[in-house]
Structure 1
Amino acid sequence: MQETAVRADAPPETPEVASPRAPRKARIWNLAVILLPSAGIALLGWRHRALSDDGLIFLRTVRQVLAGNGPVLNVGERSEANTSTLWQWILVIAGWLSPADLGFTAVVGGLALTTLGIAVGLDATRRLYGGAGLRGGAGRYVLPAGVLVLFAVPPFWDFATTGLDSGLGTFWLAGCWWLLVRSRTLHRPGDSAARHRGDRRTQWLLGTSAWLGLGPMVRPDMAVVSLTFFVALTVVTRPGWEITVLRLTAAAGLPLAYEFFRAGYYGVLMPLPGIAKEASAGDPDRGLAYVVDFVTPYWLYAPLALGLAVLVVLLVGMTRASRASDDGA
């Protein structure tokens, strides 16, 4: 056997240690990527703050509840005038707890939920692609370019407040995204501690499912979004059929209970705006017109084209890496 000679005066070899500066810089960068866009949206939303006519309908119903007349628009008329059931009752609780003007509470609350939604959504993206937490880990630099589009769309600034459920919708969607990503990182097949974390895993899945099930109470059309996230969570976590049944129960429990109340109190199964805007018949031409009207004024073709170009580059890189690994094997 041939041995390698080593000089007596040569310094001993030391294992390479990754510099702590790189992870620290990545954490600072990723934290800034979360905080700065969120603060920017908050500032723009505050400068464009307003209380819309539809927001006043929410306030009227809330005042009726606080006055003891029930969740109605007019005394003696059992009509559900608000699209978002959850936002209505959030305002009821806020109005009951706070002596502040109800309109101001709705505006500030909507802006706060919008801001938190942006921050939570960005943090979920960081968790998915950045690798490390803000307090440790290797980490990678992330740049969620999609959030920059919000700075080019003034209607988003306007509807960050208005007294409507827009902020709640943003926050709920971001929460769904965060919980889905977190479920992916917490529950991995083959985890040696999975047997001892069974109860915790079940509780997490049930809590996540309950949050996902709030979609119809945020807005009736969000039921489709709830179903989409529920399917995605099932694919990510792959629970057994018993846990799946429990998850369905947790997701449908509150919305179904409120449906019983709605049927008994109002005599309908949907809020009146949902009935008026019922969309069982398709109109693709009108839908395409809406898309064009949204994309064209704000030049959203540019970020869309850039995103597609980045996607193509990533796919090509992944294909080449896969071929290289196959050749090496």
Structure 2
Amino acid sequence: MTKNARISALAAAVVAGVAAFWGGWLRRWMSDDGLIVLRTVRNLLAGNGPVFNAGERVEANTSTLWQYLITAFAWITDARLESIAMWLALLCTVAAAATATYASGRFWGRVGPVIPLGIIIYIALPPARDFATSGLEWGLSLLWIAIWWALLVAWAEEPLRRRAPLAGYLLAFWCGMSWLVRPELALYGGVTGILLIAFTPRKTPGILAAALPVPAAYQIFRMGYYGLLTPHTAVAKSASGSEWRSGFEYFADFFGYYWLALPIIGAATVAVWQLWGARGRRLAIVLLTTGVALTHILYVLRVGGDFMHGRMWLLPLFALLLPVMAAPYNRIVAAVGMAIVVWATVIVLRAHPVDWEPYNTGEKELGIVDERDFWTMAVKRPAGDPPMFAEDFTTSKLMRNWEDALERGMDEDSAQMSLAYVSEDPELYEWFIRDREAIDSDLRNQPLTIYMVNLGMTSMNAPLNVRVLDTVGLATPIAARMPRDPDGRVGHDKALDQIWQAADADTDLDKLPEFVDKQQARQARAALRTEEIAELLATSREPMSWGRFWANVRYSLGPGRTLMLDDDPSTYLDDATLREISAGEDPGLTGRQIAWEREK
């Protein structure tokens, strides 16, 4: 790499980093899903372990490393968790943009000076700037991809640099970490491992020794601690299912809206032209990045995309652009670059305006939404002034009388807090208290329990001695195993009926409102004691021991992979039990233990 090429690569990296920082900073915010991560961090800091609710071992976050990274910085600073998450995400995004751009400049170093190209395409997109913060792990994921690319470039140069024999081993180690950043990044790490072994088969033992120990150790921990092979979010979202129609709708919502075909074709033309005649490792790493990015896109299409506009496309798009994040300077590339700048300017100015009136009036159901603008609207803040902290979400219509109800529920040691309409007006909600049963039961070990689909804003505005669960299954094992609604919103297409919610606490079922079937609630409570469901609950609730750990490992390889529940509780009960319930009895208050006393 010549001196001029190195200087131009550094300059391009600086431009990329500044643009990423400025774009992310102007659109900084906190999402409800980002608050979900912070609830786990609070439990880690309190000594309750990597759990969402104390006493229930549920891995509610997709990214393992992200929650621990925030926790590490929280241990050494007094800053608010929201601020730590925002700054870490933003700095990771900036580092990713700069690293990927410099690595591309280094890749083209033998050709000559470079200019920023692909990074302009990425940063111009509003979702890219939105998810530079948000509290989620997108910045960390981008940084993993960027370092992966930089290590690939170093590995491609290894035969020419006798002083760098460790490039392949460092790359192998980094590939092993992919699974802990986000599960789908294992595609990138796994295929790269195959490439390394194919090129240097004699180094296979060393490559495996570098790549496997850390992820394998955590995987054993995950299986024994949580009873699952994957994060719980993968179970809740049925990530192994196929929803191609929804996936292509999600594709059109992003690639079509921003005319992304135009800049991608321009960037691809530059890459093919500059690489024509290339071979060996240089060609291999370009084919690798392109192949895994396209496979990642197919995966997103297959699982149906997401309900957040653009979010699931950001990582494969970033990976697809890696070889041309910076491109060799010449007149043709400069012309393509100017065209991309014009496109980017239009996209930045056009933004992603959303007419929220149909949603506010109930004329249109929520589907794919601009999550930042949605929450700005939902918590009644001015446009361009999104929520930044947990308390900013308490102005949502769903949090009306939240603080008063929570205080009352805790003071009275209530069983549940439940949200319901106050009247026919869809804007008026209120939280209600549900009393406990007078009869002693192990269900009395359950603390005040709150169910809400928006898990972040409730959990971060509640103390850790309150159990906060969702109805779609991110933190709720029973809900995660419920059948999918084929017409439901992608990612939120499961629903835990109120009969199950009331059953999994010592709620006084006789005092349930009329719209909740009391007999079915008793059936659900009895169904929780049946062997199949009781064992599911035990994997997360029974106090940890070596026996429970190894039982969870076995469970993760069996029912943990395949178990789906029936939303009709009567299917789990024999005739004798159904007759008892018909006679007004509540046999589900006793039987197999499903709730254990929690440490104070």
CA 28–246 in structure 1, closer or farther in 2 if over 3 Å, else same: closer
Return the structure number with greater helix share. 1
- Checking the alignment, whether the CA contact within 8 Å between 1:206 and 1:247 is kept in structure 2 is yes
- For these two proteins, the number of residue pairs brought into alignment is 277
From 200, 203, 216, the counterpart of 2:179: 216
Distance in 2, Cα, partners of 1:80 & 1:176: 26
**Alpha-carbon distance, 1:24 to partner:** 5.5
Equivalence for 2:41: 62
TM-score (norm. length: structure 2): 0.44
Residues 137-152 of structure 1: pairs in structure 2 closer than 5 A: 140-152=112-124
Q: Which residue of 2 aligns with 1:227?
A: 190
Report runs of 4+ in structure 1 exceeding 6 Å deviation: none
Deviations 1:92-134 (A, max 9, x none): 1111112211110110001000100111111110111023xxx
Q: What is aligned with 1:246?
A: 206
Which residue in 2 is equivalent to 1:45?
24
Distance 1:101 1:281 in 2: 38
Partner secondary structure for residue 143 of structure 1 = strand
Equivalent residues in 2 for 1:27-176, closer than 5 Å: 27-131=6-110, 140-176=112-148
Cα separation, partners in 2 of 1:250 and 1:28, compared to 1, 3 Å: closer
What is the SS of the residue equivalent to 1:187?
helix
Superposition TM-score, scaled by structure 1 size? 0.78
* Range with bigger deviation, 284-293 or 69-78: 284-293
Cα distance in 2 for residues equivalent to 1:232 and 1:104: 40
Residues 1:205 and 2:168 are matched in the alignment: yes
Range moving further from structure 2, 91-100 or 204-213: 204-213
Using a 3 Å threshold, how does the CA distance of structure 1 residues 173 and 294 change in structure 2: closer, same or farther?
Answer: same
2:222 to 262, 266, 269: 262
Aligned Cα root-mean-square deviation (Å): 2.2
Distance 1:310 1:246, change over 3 A: closer
Letter in 2 for 1:162: S
- Structure 1 residues 77 and 310: alpha-carbon distance in aligned structure 2, compared to 1, 3 A threshold: same
Aligned to 2:372: none
Are the counterparts in 1 of residues 30 and 134 from structure 2 also a CA contact under 8 Å?
yes
Give the Cα–Cα distance (whole angstroms) in 2 for the partners of residues 30 and 271 of structure 1.
38
Paired position in structure 1 for 2:245: 285
Q: Deviations over 1:147-188 (max 9, x none)?
A: 111232100001001111100000000000000101111234
Instruction: Calculate percent identity across the aligned residue pairs.
Output: 39
> Which residue in the other structure is 1:18 paired with?
none
Q: Which runs of 5+ in 2 are unaligned?
A: 279-600
Between the aligned partners of 2:214 and 2:189, the Cα distance in structure 1 is 13
Range moving further from structure 2, 41-50 or 25-34 = 25-34
Please tell me the residue identity of whatever aligns with 1:119: A
Gaps of 5+ in 1: 1-22, 132-138, 320-329
- Distance across 2 between alignment mates of 1:240 and 1:221: 26
The question of whether the paired residues in 2 share the 8 Å contact of 1:213 and 1:226 is answered with: yes
State the shift of 1:295 in Å: 0.9
CA distance in 2, matches of 1:277, 1:51: 22
Checking the alignment, whether the CA contact within 8 Å between 1:82 and 1:271 is kept in structure 2 is yes
Q: Per the alignment, do residues 186 and 245 of structure 1 end up closer, same or farther by CA in structure 2, a change over 3 Å counting?
A: same
Q: How far is the alpha carbon of 1:210 from its aligned partner? A: 1.0
Tell me by how many angstroms 1:232 deviates. 3.5
Distance in 1 of aligned mates of 2:4 and 2:208: 42
Tell me, in whole angstroms, the C-alpha distance in 1 between the residues paired with 2:269 and 2:15: 26
Q: Quick check: 2:27–2:129 contact (8 Å CA) kept in 1?
A: yes
Q: Structure 2: how far apart are the matches of 1:209 and 1:155?
A: 31
Change (3 A) 1:309 1:182: closer
- Which residue in 1 is equivalent to 2:159? 187
Shift in CA distance, 230/161, structure 1 to aligned 2, threshold 3 Å:
same
Shift of 1:250: 2.0
